[in-house]
């Protein structure tokens, strides 16, 4: 305490009768100004996130408007070819969209069953000791750089799949899809486990009292009660899978290809952005703008999934 003896409360102003020991008026003003400056500085820091969101939207929309000056929205949504860098350019987003959807679907087919069963096991059956070990391990796995997963997809998983299906091409959507599934598994498990653990003990005890087994309680009581939280976990997993870049850029191939067959190679929206960014397109050219239009589509998809996921997560929190 640096000798700041204060006997009056902060509200006491110059007009009030003065006690014997008062902090100087000037000093108090300095202190108040300093507080205001600090609060202002902190507010500015908090506003950076608002500014970032606004700038993301602004950059994507402005550059996309430039893109749609040349390309009609109708062609963009209906053309089945995406060849912006060719002499005969076509700008149909469908092939890229199909690639994104197929790789994400394969990922979900891996992540949802394994993730849900694992989360049920962790939440309802596992001993606290197992849980204490598994949860940090999952957290560690979620932190592995995605480019490393890309390496796995191209050089480990695809060769393994070729061993089963010898005529699978070196670039295909199946391998990266499976790897994406493994990659989003930690997220799906930990979010749906959170949702199941949030179900009050009371409901389980009621079910046990009626003679239900552990499994019956888990399946008929806990999972239904946690549905919105579990679905939220899936939705956030989808959002992550859709935005995943390096795995597909490395292992799914670079050719836009309108197909729903995961055994074929195809580029995704994210892979196309990487492909163009690696080349040296002049600023302002149509090819340069096309990555922003593709990015806008991607951003709208993930925004939608994120909002949906968060609304559902909020709902499961408020029920009890």
Partner 1 sequence: MIKRRKYAEALFKVLGLSSLALAVGTLALLFGALVVHGIGRLDWQFLTSFPSRHASQAGILPAVVGSTLVMLVTACAGIPVGVAAGIYLEEYAKRTWFTELIEVTVTNLAGVPSIIFGLLALGLFVYMLGLGASILTAGLTLALLILPVVIVTTREAIRAVPVHIREAAFALGATRWQTVADHVLPYSAAGILTGIILALSRAIGETAPIVTVGALTFVAFLPPAPITSQPPYLSFEWLMSPFTVMPIQMFAWVSRPGEDFAANAAAAGLLLVGMTLTMNGLAIYVRYRMRKRVFW
Q: Please, which of residues 51-110 interact with partner 1 by CB under 8 A?
A: 52-53, 55-56, 59-60, 62-63
| Residue range at the interface with partner 1 (CB under 8 A); choices 73-81, 90-98, 155-163, 194-202 | 155-163
List residues bridging with 240 in a β-sheet. Answer: none
Q: Show the 3-state SS of 169-180.
A: CCCCCHHHHHHH
308 binds partner 1 (CB under 8 A): no
| Residue range at the interface with partner 1 (CB under 8 A); choices 137-145, 191-199, 200-208, 256-264 | 137-145
Please say which residue, 20 or 87, places its beta carbon nearer to partner 1: 20
CB-CB contact of 197 with 222 (8 Å): no
Site size with partner 1, rule: CB under 8 A: 88
Residue 216 Cβ, how far from partner 1 at the closest point, in Å?
A: 7
227 binds partner 1 (CB under 8 A): no
User: Residue 256 and residue 82: Cα distance in Å, rounded?
Assistant: 6
Residue 198 Cβ, how far from partner 1 at the closest point, in Å?
A: 17
CB burial of residue 50 (10 Å; 0-12, 13-18, 19+): exposed
Q: Which residue carries 């490395």 as its tokens?
A: 250
Element (H, E) at 33: helix 25-70
311 binds partner 1 (CB under 8 A): no
Which residue of 3, 15, 24, 145 would you call a contact of partner 1, by CB under 8 A?
145
193 binds partner 1 (CB under 8 A): no
215 binds partner 1 (CB under 8 A): yes
Which residue of 195, 196, 223, 291 would you call a contact of partner 1, by CB under 8 A?
291
Residue 130: CB partners within 8 Å, gap ≥ 6? 122
Helix residue ranges, H only, 154-285: 158-164, 174-197, 201-209, 214-217, 223-225, 227-243, 246-251, 269-278
120 binds partner 1 (CB under 8 A): yes
């Amino acid at each position: 305490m640096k000798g700041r003896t204060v006997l009056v409360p902060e509200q006491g102003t110059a007009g009030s009768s003065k006690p014997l020991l008062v902090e100087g008026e000037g000093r108090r003003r300095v202190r108040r100004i300093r507080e205001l400056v600090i609060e202002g500085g902190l507010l500015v820091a908090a506003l950076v996130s608002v500014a970032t969101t606004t700038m993301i939207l602004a950059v994507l929309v402005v550059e996309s408007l430039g893109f749609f000056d040349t390309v009609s929205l109708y062609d963009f949504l209906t053309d089945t070819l995406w060849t912006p860098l060719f002499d005969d350019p076509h700008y149909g987003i469908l092939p890229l969209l199909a690639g994104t959807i197929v790789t994400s679907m394969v990922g979900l087919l891996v992540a949802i069953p394994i993730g849900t069963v694992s989360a049920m096991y962790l939440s309802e059956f596992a001993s606290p000791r197992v849980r204490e070990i598994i949860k940090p391990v999952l957290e560690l796995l979620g932190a592995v750089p995605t480019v490393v997963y890309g390496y796995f997809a191209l050089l480990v998983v695809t060769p393994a799949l070729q061993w089963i299906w010898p005529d699978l091409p070196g670039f295909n959507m199946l391998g990266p899809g499976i790897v994406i599934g493994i990659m989003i598994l930690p997220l799906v498990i930990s979010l749906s486990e959170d949702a199941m653990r949030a179900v009050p003990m009371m409901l389980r005890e009621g079910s046990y009292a009626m003679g239900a087994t552990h499994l019956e309680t888990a399946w008929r009581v806990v999972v239904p009660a946690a549905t919105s939280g579990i679905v939220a976990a899936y939705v956030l997993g989808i959002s992550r899978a859709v935005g995943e870049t390096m795995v597909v850029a490395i292992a799914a191939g670079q050719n836009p290809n309108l197909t729903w067959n995961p055994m074929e190679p195809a580029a995704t929206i994210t892979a196309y952005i990487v492909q163009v960014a690696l080349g040296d397109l002049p600023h302002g050219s149509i090819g340069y703008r096309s990555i922003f239009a593709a990015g806008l589509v991607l951003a709208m998809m993930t925004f939608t999934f994120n909002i949906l996921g968060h609304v559902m997560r909020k709902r499961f929190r408020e029920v009890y």
